[in-house]
Structures are given as C-alpha cells and as structure tokens.
Amino acid sequence: MLFIIEDSINGILMGSIYGLTAMGLTIIFGVLKVINFAHGSMLMVGMYVTYWVVVLTGVNPYLAIFIVAPVMFLFGYYLQDIVIKPIFIAEKNVREPITVIIVTTGIWYILDNLVLLVFGPQYRSLPENPLRGQMLQFADMFVSVPKLYGFIISIITASAIYWFFQKTTMGRAIRATSMDREAASLMGINQFKVYNIAFGIGAATAGIAAVTLVPFNNVFPTVGVLFDIKGFIIVVLGGLGSIGGALIGGIIIGLIESVGPQFMTATWTEAIVYGLFLVVLFVKPSGLFGQKNDW
C-alpha cells in the first residue's frame, strides 16, 4: 500500500511536469490551429538557456525562470513573426495550413542540429546543484524535492495562463482569434500579433517547463524529442487547446508510468500509454476536456 502511495505521488508530480511541457503545444494549437512539431526543440532550447543562465550566473535554478521565460517569449514571438507568419500570409485562405506544419518540422531539425553544432553532443547536468538528489523522506517513502517544485510551478503556470486568457483584453483577443479568426479580424484584432503573442506564450511555458526539468534531468541536443511524443499524447488525451486538460492528461500519463511498472516491466507501460492514446482517439477524439464542436 505504501508503495502505491509513494508511486502515485511520484506519478502526479512527474505528470504535472509532463503537462507543463505539453501546455505550450496546446496553446499554440488552440490559437494557430497548427501542430507545432518544433515544440520539443523549444523545450530543449529552454533547457540550454536555463543551463547556461545557472552555470554562468550561479543563481538558484528556479530563479532562472525570470530570465528564461522572457527570453523564450521573445524567441517564440520572433520565430512566429519572422519564420511562420510569411507562410500564413501566403496561405491565408486555407483554414489549417499544412505547410506551416512542415515549416515547424524544419525548425525542429534546424534547432536540434544547430545546438548539436554549437554545444556538441555531450550530456550536461547542473554541476554543484544543491537541489540534485534532494528528497523528502517520510518513514520508507521518498518524495523528490525538484519534482515537488516542478508540480507547484506547473499549477501556478496553468492558473496564470488561465487567468490571462479569461481576464485580460489580450487574453480575450487571443480566445476570440482562436474561435473565429475572420470575425476577430473584423472586430479589429490584429490576427498576426495575436499569433505572435500566442507563440511567445507557448515558448515561454516551454521555457518554464525547461526550468523545472533541468535540476534533475540531462541537457542534450535531442532531449526535446523524448518529451515531444509524450506531449502529443497528453494534448490529445486532455483535449486540444485545453490548458487544464494538458495538466490532467500529463498527470494520467505520469501515473501510468509510475504505478504501472510495479505490476509489469517498464516497457509495457509505454504500450499502455499508446493504447490509451488510441482508445481516446476512437472513443472521444476531442479528448477529456476538448470542445466537441470545432469552432
């Protein structure tokens, strides 16, 4: 019994971090209607930014959020503005421009290889990291401190984004654009500015997710790919475009991954995760919290 509680706690903590890595993906999809294949790479870039900020300034890894999130916001903002916007303009009459998906795939390859070229294939983790290996211990139960921080940051981030979308003018403009971009444009909303900001927010959440991962994970050029695939499953599970859905979807995956191996070999939990993915696609394609009707 104690084992199950211990594993469930680990699953919920790790799962919330998975949810955070997928949150940017769901935001960008919700607004731009585009699957951003470069999302894992943005996470990877965020991890490198975090790594270097911490190594060069020596700040507490979690304080790096205040540098990493703005940097990543600008990165996403201009990535959309310079690279993706021209394609949108060229295909403005297409509702779900396929070429944008291809461009994001291109960005993924370019970012991964650029980082490989600049920083090399080495695996890095924070040296002299005071958080690494920190554990809370209750009797025979262990709870990882960096994961606990990750959980708290995930909840705060999700709440903040939710508040931003509900309460601010910009948030409303983003939601309006995601519902009907023609109508939103007619109401005087600058569609491309909204896209830039949505992409920026997506990248910033990837940056925040990166900050939560760096204290206990490795940084290397293809690290994004590992989280990418999980991100897609989480987003479909939770419902495309739903922020709370991403968090819940992440926690479900985390629980399966953490509790499952106690009853079977770890390789089988992957099969369960993918099986669940298929079941959701068959039974409830809009996901747990997605809207049934496409706008």
Partner 1 sequence: MNVIRKIVVPTLAASLIATSAIGALAENVKIGNIIPLSGPSATVGQQGKAAREMAIEEINAAGGIQSLGGAKLELLYADSESKPEKGVAEAERLINTEKVNVLTGCWNSAVTYPTTAVAERYGIPFVVPVSVSDKITDQGFKTVFRIAAKDSWWTRDQFSFLQDMEKEFGTKVEKLAFVYENGDWGKGFAGQWKELAEKAGYQVVLDEPYPSTATDLSPVVQKIRRSRADVLMLVSNAADAILLTNTLAEYKVDLKAIITSGGGHADPSFLKAAGNSARYLFDIVEWETDVNKPGAKEANEKYNAINGQNLTGEAVDAYVAMYVIKDALERAGSLDPAKIREALAATDMTSGPGMIVGYDAIKFDATGQNENASLVMVQVNDIGNGLERITIWPKSARRAGYTPVFPMAKK
Among 170, 261, 276, 284, binds partner 1 (CB under 8 A): 261
Which residue, 75 or 216, has its beta carbon nearer to partner 1? Answer: 216
Neighbours of 116 (CB within 10 A): 13
- What is the separation of C-alpha 35 from the centre of its chain, rounded to a whole number of angstroms? 12
**Nearest-approach distance from CB 230 to partner 1, in angstroms:** 7
Task: Please report whether residue 218 would count as binding partner 1 according to CB under 8 A.
Answer: yes
Using rule CB under 8 A, residue 10 touches partner 1: yes
Q: Is 122 in the site for partner 1 (CB under 8 A)?
A: yes
Distance CA 174, CA 82 (A): 19
Q: Is 116 in the site for partner 1 (CB under 8 A)?
A: no
Q: Does residue number 274 form part of the binding site for partner 1 (CB under 8 A)?
A: no
89-97, 219-227, 235-243, 282-290 -> range binding partner 1 (CB under 8 A): 219-227
Residue 182 or 270 having the CB closest to partner 1: 270
**How many residues lie near partner 1 (CB under 8 A)?**
39
Among 25, 88, 210, 257, binds partner 1 (CB under 8 A): 257
Kindly tell me which of 194 and 234 has the beta carbon lying closer to partner 1.
234
Positions in the binding site for partner 1 (CB under 8 A): 3, 6-7, 10, 14, 18, 121-125, 127, 132-135, 142, 144, 216-218, 220, 223, 225-227, 230, 254, 257-262, 265-267, 269-270
